[in-house]
């Protein structure tokens, strides 16, 4: 985290005076039938309203839809004018960069962003140079201090939990593993942290902690022998999960463990497995998200275990943090021992394992999102 302390309002006094003078001239030149500046603009200029942009990866994933709803609720509660933007698809950096530039040009107070890739880092730097406080949600950029702070799940821990659970369920059988990741054309922390966390939970050395697919293709896990059949990018989407799983099955039809980055990917993989004649008894399916649909998949046996994260909390606390800072309060701080603020995670399964903390689908459904 960048330790700098920002002033509560980052617009210079001289700029406010200039705006006031300009507004007076415009009003004196208008007739009674002319349209004046909207009320929200004059409120922001007077320093009462805080302006924040929420920029998510895509609106095709319920995770980010939930995040938007959480931000909207927090914006109303904290008297924040919220601007929303999203990439056209997961990985669309250009749209996010444009949204950052728009926030800068509008003189906003802060940005909440789930970065779509490394190309947005330079634009984030420009926003911070312009005085905006930038909080990454869910996905920390690389380097982590490219933003002021990240509010996120501990994605490595989320992966580690489902990995440890998987190892416990195999009972010493050989693990024939399919890894369905996010991208193969860019590197983002949520991708390698979840995947390498899963391998670590299995008792497999992931090698380079910031690279997917760098582990040894075969060896031993905590309960026996393993083979990693594939590391396929599914783009975080259902259709991507289907295609990736089909590719993995073509390499080895005996896959009995499937790691998926998120639940849309898992559902797509399930469809490919079903088409190939595989049943729930043949394959252990794991994922990360904990959305209401995903919890339902666990209850139905489509997914065996998932790690539940809390996007609504990320967005709500992010909006509140920027509002507090803009009004003269303290900047948010990272969690102890981490370089981000941890918003929590829980393992969800109806097949609990000894020594591994988990909640069942009944409990998870009460706190799920989407």
CA distance 317 to 183: 28
Q: What is the predicted pLDDT for the residue at 142?
A: 85
Provide mean pLDDT across the span 19-32. 33
Q: What are phi and psi of 56, to 5 degrees?
A: -105, 175
Q: Classify 15 in phi/psi space as left (phi over 0), alpha (psi -120 to 50) or beta.
A: alpha
Q: What is the predicted pLDDT for the residue at 45?
A: 41
- pTM, full prediction: 0.79
Provide mean pLDDT across the span 166-192. 96
- Answer for the pair 54, 85: CB distance below 8 angstroms, yes or no: yes
Q: What percent of the chain has pLDDT over 90?
A: 83
Q: Which residues contact 16 (CB under 8 A, 6 or more apart)?
A: 45, 47
CA distance 178 to 193: 17
Higher pLDDT, 19 or 152: 152
Provide mean pLDDT across the span 337-343. 94
Q: What is the predicted pLDDT for the residue at 48?
A: 61
pLDDT at 360 over 80: yes
Is residue 300 packed enough to be buried (19+ CB in 10 Å), middle (13-18) or exposed (0-12)?
Answer: exposed
Q: What is the predicted pLDDT for the residue at 139?
A: 86
pLDDT tens across 164-176, in order? Answer: 999 999 999 999 9
Confidence tier at 12 by pLDDT (50, 70, 90)? very low
Q: What percent of the chain has pLDDT over 70?
A: 87
* Alpha helical stretches, state H, 30-92: 39-46, 62-77
pLDDT at 29 over 80: no
DSSP 8-state secondary structure symbol assigned to residue 149: E
Provide mean pLDDT across the span 16-38. 32
pLDDT at 9 over 70: no
Q: Which residues contact 271 (CB under 8 A, 6 or more apart)?
A: 238, 241, 242, 245
Q: What is the predicted pLDDT for the residue at 370?
A: 79
Coil/strand/helix, residue 262: coil
H or E, element range at 322: helix 311-326
Q: What is the predicted pLDDT for the residue at 206?
A: 98
pLDDT tens across 263-282, in order? Answer: 999 999 999 999 999 999 99
CB atoms within 10 A of CB 223: 18
pLDDT at 61 over 50: yes
pLDDT at 46 over 90: no
pLDDT tens across 86-137, in order? Answer: 999 989 999 999 999 999 999 999 999 999 999 999 999 999 999 999 999 9
Q: What is the predicted pLDDT for the residue at 44?
A: 39
Q: What is the predicted pLDDT for the residue at 49?
A: 86
- Crossing angle (nearest 10°) for helices 311-326 and 62-77: 30
Confidence tier at 322 by pLDDT (50, 70, 90)? very high
Q: Which domains does the chain have, with CATH numbers?
A: 47-153+311-339 (3.40.50.2300), 155-308+345-366 (3.40.50.2300)
Q: What is the predicted pLDDT for the residue at 47?
A: 53
H or E, element range at 272: helix 263-275
Coil/strand/helix, residue 301: coil
Q: What is the predicted pLDDT for the residue at 16?
A: 33
């Amino acid at each position: 985290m960048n330790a700098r302390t920002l002033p509560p309002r980052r617009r210079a006094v001289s700029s406010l005076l200039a705006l006031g003078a300009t507004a007076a001239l415009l009003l004196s030149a208008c007739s009674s039938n002319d349209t004046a500046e909207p009320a929200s603009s004059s409120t922001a200029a007077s320093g009462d309203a805080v302006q924040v942009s929420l920029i998510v990866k895509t609106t095709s994933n319920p995770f980010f839809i939930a995040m938007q709803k959480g931000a909207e609720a927090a914006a109303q509660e904290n008297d924040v004018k919220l601007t929303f933007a999203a990439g056209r698809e997961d990985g669309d950096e250009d749209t996010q960069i444009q949204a950052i530039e728009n926030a800068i040009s509008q003189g906003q107070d802060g940005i909440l962003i789930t970065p779509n890739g490394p190309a947005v880092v330079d634009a984030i730097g420009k926003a911070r140079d312009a005085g905006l406080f930038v909080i990454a949600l869910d996905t920390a950029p690389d380097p982590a201090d490219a933003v002021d702070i990240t509010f996120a799940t501990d994605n490595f821990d989320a992966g580690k939990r489902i990995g440890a659970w998987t190892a416990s369920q195999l009972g010493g059988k050989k693990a024939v593993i399919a890894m369905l990741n996010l991208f193969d054309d860019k590197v983002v922390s949520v991708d390698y942290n979840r995947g390498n966390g899963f391998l670590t939970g299995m008792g497999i050395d992931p090698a380079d902690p910031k690279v997917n697919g760098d582990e040894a293709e075969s060896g031993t896990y905590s309960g026996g022998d393993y083979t990693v059949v594939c590391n396929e990018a599914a783009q975080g989407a259902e259709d991507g999960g289907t295609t990736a799983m089909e590719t993995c099955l073509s390499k080895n039809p005996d896959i009995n463990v499937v790691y998926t980055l998120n639940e849309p990917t898992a559902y797509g993989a399930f469809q490919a497995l079903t088409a190939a004649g595989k049943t729930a008894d043949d394959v252990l399916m794991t994922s990360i998200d904990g959305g209401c649909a995903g919890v339902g998949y666990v209850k139905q046996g489509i997914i065996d275990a998932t790690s539940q994260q809390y996007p609504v909390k990320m967005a709500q606390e992010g909006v509140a943090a920027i509002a507090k800072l803009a009004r003269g309060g303290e900047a948010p701080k990272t969690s102890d021992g981490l370089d981000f603020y941890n918003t929590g995670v829980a393992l969800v399964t109806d097949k609990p394992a000894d020594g591994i903390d988990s909640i069942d689908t009944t409990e998870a459904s009460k706190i799920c999102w989407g």
